Chains A and B, each alone.
Chain A
Amino acid sequence: MTQETVKPQEKEALIELLYQLADDDFILSFRGSEWLGLAPHIEEDVAFSSISQDMMGHANLYYNLLEGLGEGDADKIAHLRSVEKFRNAIILEEVNGPGTYLKEPDYDWAFAVVRNYFYAVHKQIRLDSLRHSAYEPLAEAARKIMTEQYYHLMHWEIWFKQLMTSTDEAIKRMNTAIEKVWKDFGGVLTLGPSYADIVKANFIDDEAVMKKRWTNKMEAVFKEVGANYPGEPRMERGNGRNGVHTEDLKHALSTLSEVYATNPSTGW
């Protein structure tokens, strides 16, 4: 189906899904951009900033699909929605560590690697499914995104495996980060309250099926690096797909829209 042929009830579910996809990439790309100049070495600064830029591009593709469905101007929906209208998973909005990107950032590289790797694995699974989405413009976007996502996944996988099998200190820090991410990663794995309609319209595979694929992959990777699999990922702070968010998102959005919000009607 296309923009013209999507039925009203399906359209509502499609819009929900697109906000999840867009907001996940948008907010994690922002967190990535905060790392610029602070990564462990210059080569990583180059690679990570390239990944963040790609992800912003992916968010942009999804926001444009939303614009096509009558949700309003892509810039406006990216910058001016209120916090509870955001559909990203809570773990993706979490700050990189103490401090801000401008002042005294004590960012945690283990957290960056774990969050990005777990997300990249799921994003790959999600895109694999979206390639066959009943909504053709979404299937087409997914195919485009996959060409870049392949490298993102490889990048984070190398980091994850390397740090998980290195010094005792690295392993300890990585395990702390895994514990932290695990508490809320369940939020990435859900399609939220519109889940049944989203799946019924064949926009994407069932969340249970995708979650199983993610779990299988994670169990294999944990085994490979000799780590214990932590069991079921949780959603301790609530479900971002329901509009439940933390102060971290509020601050992020006020930064992201700082200039645009001064005059959204002018050209920038």
Chain B
Amino acid sequence: MGNVDDDSATFEQSYDCANNRNEKVSTPISNGHIPSHAFVQQKVEGQLSEPELVEEEQNEEQLLLNKHLKFSAPAYTEIRTRSGGLKFKGTSEGSYHPAKQLEANGHATKSGSKCEKFKPSQADGVLSAEQEHYQKTSFEDVPLHTACLTYLGFYLLMILGYINQLLFVPKVATEKGREGYVALYDAFESFYSRYVYRRVRDCWNRPICSVPGDELVLKDRVTDDYGWSFRFTGTETRCLNLGSYNYLGFAAATGACADDSEQRARQKGLAYCSPRSELGNTQLHIDLERLTARYCGVEDAIVFGMGFATNALNLPSLLGPNCLVVSDEKNHASIILGLRLSGATTRVFKHNSMRDLERVLRNGVCYGNPKNGGKPWNKIMILVEGIFSMEGSLVRLPEIIALKKKYKAYLYLDEAHSIGSMGPTGRGVVEYFGADPKDVDILMGTFTKSFGSAGGYIAGSKKLIDFLRTNSHAHCYASSISPPIVQQIYTSMSIIMGEDGTDTGRNKVQQLARNTRYFRRRLAQMGVITYGHEDSPVVPMLVYLFSKIGAVIRTLTTRHIAVVGAGFPATPIMEGRIRFCLSAAHTKEQLDYALDVIDDVSENLGLKYSRKPRDPKIIEY
């Protein structure tokens, strides 16, 4: 359904073959550590001369062989044989092969090889902030016919859904003995998930069974009743991972972070089962807070065990009913929930529109609180995110700081996605724009994304943090972060800061910046519409139609690429999109492979909507 793969037989065969091999060993765990080709060769030769090797080594060698064979399997190399508008110089140009790993491609190694003309992830500052924003942000209006077709398709889905609901009893569990009760769940929501979302349900919530590093292993599942239920086939597919927020590649099963966390778990156990203000406070947490404060360049920081709760539970302690919040329209659900809990008056401004922000701020200052007879607001707070996760756009920080100073408002910056992934040394958008961290009153961020862990922090002045320590629900009632998780954050953060004595962290940040720019430019060259800032590692590719989201995800899965799609409830109806998240763990070969497949797929499925002139030159990595 919706797959453009005509010759699925070859794929199935190759797939079976790969899986038979997999049966011999346990699930190969991918962690971004791809051994060099020479090593594999050596191993193979070694095995030929000496048949009796230790079992462990054999297993390892089998695993390496799997990795080696995987990419020469037909499903991976199929792209070479398809024309699809692709022009490869050599036969192996379009394939991603571990042998090519040996070539110097500027990816983060411990030796720290880098290209000369590398531009760090940083604002140029040559043009004015506004001009630079418009120059670097890609945005394109939806073509009119696509918009019409999107609505047509949506109406068709709705109408047929209603017909379906009328004719058949939905295959869902129903409660007995509930006559006369009002429906507990929203009627439209359950209709939508049953008759629209269900049709493409296989593209979301896919179970994985490996660490989500640069590659991941999907557990295959099939549906016999068009998405009502799934059953596992017992096989697995290894895919290139373009869907995780693993920006710096710290989500790995091996390496310093994993070793330290394991050691810490053995030493300190798994949980303290108590909040920070009671028995859950240890030197580990205090160290982490100090490190976070140093990382952000501010006086103090406070850490929480849950990133979502950091927003949702700290905003109510900072804001009250007589406060005005000026919030960006694309802010995350956790912020919106926090604002609703706080009871503050929320005014929304258009996404990244400074003119609209100033209008809202000026109105707020001039007219005061209408519910309070026009008396001035207690405080006005501007709420923005660093990188907007659905749009891939960057906050216009210099202009917002100027406005904030002009109107004496507070600024709350949610750096959930940008911390670690932006700026020359990964300190987030504040460093990216060269702003002073003290100009941002409240710096919030999560450890879930770049640090490959869980939790969130708030950093700012000592006064603010002390206030939160006494008032925050997340601090007083939620149990403290588990020791191995603290250790994972601590180790990854010190690696990014270079405190482990190597420049691995810096190389990772640079690798991410390079990957991002390369990927975005190649996509633009292909003629697909992408949103967002040139340096943001979240790359939404617009496919608009609901059916195309499913078709793209399914087709890419058959080509061993795992991506995330976002459709109507998460985005406006007209703007279905595929969201690629880049990582420092990706190498140029992996990206090239992915890009070639995306090019082929977008050609076949008609995703090349862009009417902008394309760059004819070859994009340099």
Chains A and B belong together in one complex: no
Residues of A within 8 A of B (CB): none
